[in-house]
Chain A
Amino acid sequence: MSAEDIEAVLARHPNGKRDSLIPILQEVQEVKGFLSNDVIVRIGQHLNLPPSKVYGVATFYNQFRFQAPGKFHVQLCRGTACHVKGSLGVLDAVKRHLKLEPGQTSRDGVFSLEVVACIGACGLAPVINVNGEFHARMTPKKVTEILDSYRSNAGDAKHD
């Protein structure tokens, strides 16, 4: 799946117009994990849209990423239940600990941070998801410990 080329995605939208833009962005991100600058330009050429427009649309939606995800991709839920249970403090702790803003990837490529709306695990609130593993009832203290344990495993961890 990761080998699939962006051209293959574009080939599925041969006479694409501007209403194909969002589906194409989604499919390309599915394949590449994020939207690189080259990809944005290429999609613009395909749809005959200026790259500023493609970038403008893509940045409107939280779902699109513009940096390659890190070895550990942290999704932090900011849905209603998690909010009530204190996810804002958890987010602040993660941001400070990793020195990252949502949407960014750390320079060493180990962590990336994404803020998501409800991920359907309200019973575990506040919840984070790291590479598919859920961690329940986060506090600022607990979350930094969990992140540290991931970092110490960074050498041999598997990443898919």
Chain B
Amino acid sequence: MGTDVITIEVNNKKIEATPGEMLLTALRRAGIKVPTLCHMEDLSPTGACRLCVVEVAGQRSLVPSCAFPVNEGMKVQTHSPRVMRARKTVVELLLANHPDDCLYCVRNDNCQLREMACQLGVRERRYCGERNDYKVDISSPSIVRDPAKCILCGKCVRVCEEVQAVSAIDFIGRGRQAHVGTVFDQGLNVSRCINCGQCVMVCPTGALREQSHAKEVHAAINDPKKLVVVQHAPAVSVTLAEELGLKPGSDINGIMVAALRALGFDRVFDTSFTADLTIMEEASELVQRIRTGGKLPMFTSCSPGWIKYVEHFYPEFLGNLSTCKSPQQMMGAIIKSYYAKTNNLRPEDIFSASIMPCTAKKFEAQRQEMLKDGVADVDAVLTTRELARMIRLHGLDLNALQPDTADSPFGRRSTAGKLFGATGGVMEAAVRTAHFLLTGKDMDNPRLTDLRGLKAVKETKVTVAGVELGIAVVSGLSNAAKLLGEIKAGRSDLHFIEVMTCPGGCIAGGGQPLNGDVQAVRQRMQTLYNIDRDEHLRFSHRNEDVQRLYEEFLGKPLGEVSHHLLHTHYEQRPIGI
């Protein structure tokens, strides 16, 4: 059969390529930088932006290298004058109807279009096109869309369809009228959008961004009547560093806590504490479902994009979702109940903010189910990016801050709670505690290697107290959809399934630093694993502050108070939008 390696000639040098692969892939492997604004690793090439054009000997016109397969002996020029001229013109044409408001744009420090214009030496406006009068879509609680800044690369459309299997948006219209929008051109808030923010992560320009809560947070901090409480999610301390220019995978937990205090937050709590609490409730729920013949497999419920996905697309599985609120919402609920009571505060005197790797958390915090007597459990949600912006705004020098620890009583966490930040982490933590609940003993080796790593679907069997548990971990909703299909078709060997909306879990969430690659995600993941390896408190049920919370307030997992505060329900949503 054919050889595994072929040779092609690029810029008069020989490089190796794999038969069938696209030219761009081979060029990148050889370290030859060809710019592109629309290419996405592992997704179908579209050749939309034309920036990756190269000259191939024998081809009359330039070809897009992202969509042109390699051939033995082909001769390629990647930076000839003709190619460079074409690329520059492409960018100039993209800029022809682009709003010139870079100074005010949220992406002014990391816009790929601006970077291209800079690299290609665009120094004047040669073309001036007519502009469409688009309205900014601010309807969504999570995501803001500004079609005027869109260059129609289609990355958001592809990620929404191919990675998340949602297809809330698509190209609408044709020619100069073409734009990306929802069905019937309505607001994102009434669409099937699950608010995951993966579109924001891939957008090369400022056309997509998060709905910012920074203003509300600043106002609360400056309001002397409010006690401003903040919680930070497990995945934030290992990604914030990148947004501030440090190495991917650096854990700056202590510095971040110090920075949060310096920003004016009165109390800093760790969402990993309520991750431990979630595990107490969720593992108990699993054990109860197994013992009493409840609905199985049980699905985790901490990823709010996944919850809305089930509500829209798989309402028949709503009963399989754990009734546990997410760690963010559990923290919000106990802050405005237990913490308020023990500190003689009214819930409305507390402003509860959270730092999340996620845009869907903004939606979750506003859900009807998460309000109590009209008061939200969580008042504002900031993404990792928004926190970095606040840190820059206040001119905080991270090198000058002394690492600090989170506040009692919700500051202590196990490493199991911290693992929530990566795909498979919730499952690993839950199995550790379920094992204890079923046997009364801790696992000798709590590290579940089968559930680790960036693989989209991970499965294993765990035998606890003579019961064999079928376990699966999925991230990326198109992968979840496949698994749901198998279960609908009769597959019954699974008891517990963790689903994270974003591929890789929260460390790659829609609120995380932009322009991070898979290598960065891997390093963030490794940092979480290292924390679990190096620290001693590795079981959620061994967290003494969680134990105390049960003694003083909650009673027992799945008890009356827990049921009231920490659990919720979900409802079917329409699919035809």
A binds B: yes
A contact set with B: CB distance below 8 Å: 37, 40-41, 44-45, 50-56, 59-61
CB–CB B173/A52 < 8 A: no
Given known pairs A53-B167, A55-B183, the reply for A44 and B172 (CB within 8 Å) is no
B577 at the interface (CB under 8 A from A): yes
Given known pairs A37-B184, A40-B183, A50-B161, the reply for A55 and B170 (CB within 8 Å) is yes
B198 at the interface (CB under 8 A from A): no
- Measured in the bound complex, the distance between the Cα atoms of B167 and A55 in whole Å is 12
CB–CB B168/A52 < 8 A: yes
Q: List 25 A-B contacts (CB under 8 A).
A: A37-B183, A37-B184, A40-B184, A41-B183, A45-B576, A50-B166, A50-B167, A50-B168, A50-B192, A51-B577, A52-B168, A52-B182, A52-B183, A52-B191, A53-B161, A53-B167, A54-B183, A55-B172, A55-B183, A56-B171, A56-B172, A59-B173, A60-B171, A60-B173, A61-B174
- Measured between C-beta atoms, what is the minimum distance from B48 to chain A in Å? 15
CB–CB A51/B172 < 8 A: no
B67 at the interface (CB under 8 A from A): no
Quick one: which of B161, B169, B172, B192 contacts A59, CB cutoff 8 A? B172
Please give, as numbers and ranges, the residues of chain B lying within 8 Å of A41 by CB-CB distance: 183, 576-577
- Measured between C-beta atoms, what is the minimum distance from B569 to chain A in Å? 27
Please give, as numbers and ranges, the residues of chain B lying within 8 Å of A51 by CB-CB distance: 183, 576-577
CB–CB B170/A53 < 8 A: yes
Please give, as numbers and ranges, the residues of chain A lying within 8 Å of B174 by CB-CB distance: 59-61
- Measured in the bound complex, the distance between the Cα atoms of B172 and A45 in whole Å is 19
- Measured in the bound complex, the distance between the Cα atoms of B230 and A36 in whole Å is 47
Please give, as numbers and ranges, the residues of chain B lying within 8 Å of A60 by CB-CB distance: 171, 173-174
- Measured between C-beta atoms, what is the minimum distance from A101 to chain B in Å? 11
Give the residue name and chain of the B residue nearest to A42 (CB).
B576
- Measured in the bound complex, the distance between the Cα atoms of B191 and A74 in whole Å is 33
- Measured in the bound complex, the distance between the Cα atoms of B312 and A41 in whole Å is 14
- Measured in the bound complex, the distance between the Cα atoms of B183 and A54 in whole Å is 8
Contact residues of B between 166 and 200, Cβ < 8 Å to A: 166-174, 182-184, 191-192
B contact set with A: CB distance below 8 Å: 161, 166-174, 182-184, 191-192, 576-577
CB–CB B576/A55 < 8 A: no
Can you list the 3 inter-chain pairs with the closest CB atoms, starting with the nearest? A50-B167, A41-B576, A56-B170
Please give, as numbers and ranges, the residues of chain A lying within 8 Å of B167 by CB-CB distance: 50, 52-53
CB–CB A50/B170 < 8 A: yes
- Measured in the bound complex, the distance between the Cα atoms of B182 and A59 in whole Å is 12
- Measured in the bound complex, the distance between the Cα atoms of B171 and A54 in whole Å is 10
- Measured in the bound complex, the distance between the Cα atoms of B173 and A60 in whole Å is 5
Please give, as numbers and ranges, the residues of chain B lying within 8 Å of A44 by CB-CB distance: 576
- Measured in the bound complex, the distance between the Cα atoms of B171 and A56 in whole Å is 5
Give the residue name and chain of the B residue nearest to A45 (CB).
B576
Please give, as numbers and ranges, the residues of chain A lying within 8 Å of B170 by CB-CB distance: 50, 52-53, 55-56
Give the residue name and chain of the B residue nearest to A40 (CB).
B183
- Measured in the bound complex, the distance between the Cα atoms of B184 and A48 in whole Å is 18
- Measured in the bound complex, the distance between the Cα atoms of B192 and A37 in whole Å is 15
- Measured between C-beta atoms, what is the minimum distance from A79 to chain B in Å? 17
Please give, as numbers and ranges, the residues of chain A lying within 8 Å of B166 by CB-CB distance: 50
Please give, as numbers and ranges, the residues of chain B lying within 8 Å of A45 by CB-CB distance: 576
- Measured between C-beta atoms, what is the minimum distance from A111 to chain B in Å? 22
- Measured between C-beta atoms, what is the minimum distance from B156 to chain A in Å? 12
- Measured in the bound complex, the distance between the Cα atoms of B172 and A54 in whole Å is 10
Please give, as numbers and ranges, the residues of chain A lying within 8 Å of B172 by CB-CB distance: 55-56, 59
Give the residue name and chain of the B residue nearest to A37 (CB).
B184
Please give, as numbers and ranges, the residues of chain A lying within 8 Å of B169 by CB-CB distance: 52
Please give, as numbers and ranges, the residues of chain A lying within 8 Å of B192 by CB-CB distance: 50
Please give, as numbers and ranges, the residues of chain B lying within 8 Å of A55 by CB-CB distance: 170, 172, 183-184
Give the residue name and chain of the A residue nearest to B171 (CB).
A56
Please give, as numbers and ranges, the residues of chain B lying within 8 Å of A40 by CB-CB distance: 183-184
Give the residue name and chain of the B residue nearest to A44 (CB).
B576
Give the residue name and chain of the B residue nearest to A58 (CB).
B172
Give the residue name and chain of the B residue nearest to A57 (CB).
B170
List 10 extra interface pairs beyond A51-B183, A61-B174, CB under 8 A. Answer: A37-B184, A40-B183, A45-B576, A50-B170, A50-B192, A52-B182, A53-B167, A54-B183, A59-B173, A60-B174
- Measured between C-beta atoms, what is the minimum distance from A114 to chain B in Å? 15
- Measured between C-beta atoms, what is the minimum distance from B10 to chain A in Å? 37
Please give, as numbers and ranges, the residues of chain B lying within 8 Å of A52 by CB-CB distance: 167-170, 182-183, 191
